[in-house]
Structure 1
């Protein structure tokens, strides 16, 4: 279950910050005010509170960015929301116009164990119905195959760091590939390109997006990565 010490209101703020600044971009008070439907003055007061809690770094008149701790919480709640949207639409056949609100109501109480079970049932989805990226889980696995192999949820450990997939990167970024998501077939396709956990990846924003492909440097070799792979190759940030 979501951490009882973290209110739903705080999770909503962190979720909006993640949606608009997942790769370290500053998110303005105006953006938060519009998306949350809250007066700018109230948003400013909450941002100060979130900074005191260690979840964000806030610069008056400029905006806020997530800290590592804030990112962890934001990714977790965003992941639950988007997996629930996928479940509500694909399995329960809820009308598309209703799924966002229902997912909002459910995300704060969905346990980590239930989230993992939903992910498995849905075959490790990478996109929600709005085609937004579903963040990686924060379980300490290097691939979904490892997750399948661990049947006892009580033995599942959490990662100590955050991840972003290649297609989420919005600035020059480099890091270590630390998780690869997907079916065994997709994992095999990625491995056939010489991409593996532990590889060093460099992404140069602006120059390296070619249609639905991403030009990246992995272990010194330039590779053109299609979108379906880019959504599922995660680097440590």
Structure 2
């Protein structure tokens, strides 16, 4: 993968974060979030558009492409894992962990990211309750990752496509369950609902905010709380 500057990674991460609550990340919101003049933001968005990381439209803002989404998701994952580590293990105050994580995320290797995730017992959200994206490694469960803990990530390889958690899917969108985060208790709970690896699944209804999510799996409708839906990841291109 081409090495990107920290500045570009910060832009992509910011767009990802803003896109969690709105499809388009406006120039004004990016400017405010990053503390950068709107004119400079516009110039960078045009550059990111020309390089295939975003689709930029004047007055509407930017949307991540598949290429940009993959990078943004990876950086966001490292950032939120670091926030958990700084808060839970080191006891850093919550009002200080964001800036510290920003400084550390760009230099955190994939091996270190994986080890950190295992150390923290595969967390699903950061201290601010924002979901932690799935890893890019070729695992179907966290159990596989733990079993192969002595194997380098270069040998394991990365998935080709982007996975979305159930909470990220649009209504009526469909795909197959490709990765489940958590221990055997999570797997068992989902199995009892008929949600297993490889199962076709379709989003029926997303309640606002913290409400339940309704999906169709194996011909039945199932309602899931956000706490568990954040840990079921779908390959929507299958």
Q: CA deviation at 1:143?
A: 0.8
Out of 103, 106, 116, the position equivalent to 2:104 is 106
Question: What residue number does 1:90 align with?
Answer: 88
Q: Residue deviations 1:128-173, cap 9 Å, x none?
A: 0000000000111111111112131142210101112112335542
Q: CA deviation at 1:224?
A: 0.9
Question: What residue number does 1:230 align with?
Answer: 229
- Within 5 Å, give how 1:49-198 maps onto structure 2: 49-150=47-148, 151-153=150-152, 154-169=154-169, 171-198=171-198
Moved more, 119-128 or 197-206: 197-206
SS state of the match for residue 204, structure 1? Answer: strand
Question: What residue number does 2:212 align with?
Answer: 213
**Cα distance between partner residues in 2 of 1:11 and 1:21:** 15
- Alignment: residue pair count: 234
Check conservation: 1:23, 1:169, Cα contact below 8 A. no
Q: Residue deviations 1:53-110, cap 9 Å, x none?
A: 1101111221111111100100000000000000011111111111111101000000
Answer 1 or 2: higher relative contact order, Cα 8 Å, separation at least 6. Answer: 1
**Cα distance between partner residues in 1 of 2:108 and 2:172:** 34
Check conservation: 1:213, 1:224, Cα contact below 8 A. yes
Segments of structure 1 that go 5 or more residues without pairing to the other structure are none
Give the RMSD, CA atoms, in angstroms. Answer: 1.9
**Cα distance between partner residues in 2 of 1:198 and 1:209:** 27
Segments of structure 2 that go 5 or more residues without pairing to the other structure are none
Moved more, 78-87 or 208-217: 208-217
**Cα distance between partner residues in 1 of 2:43 and 2:219:** 46
The list of structure 1 runs, each at least 4 consecutive aligned residues, that deviate by more than 4 angstroms after superposition, is: 208-211
Q: CA deviation at 1:228?
A: 2.2
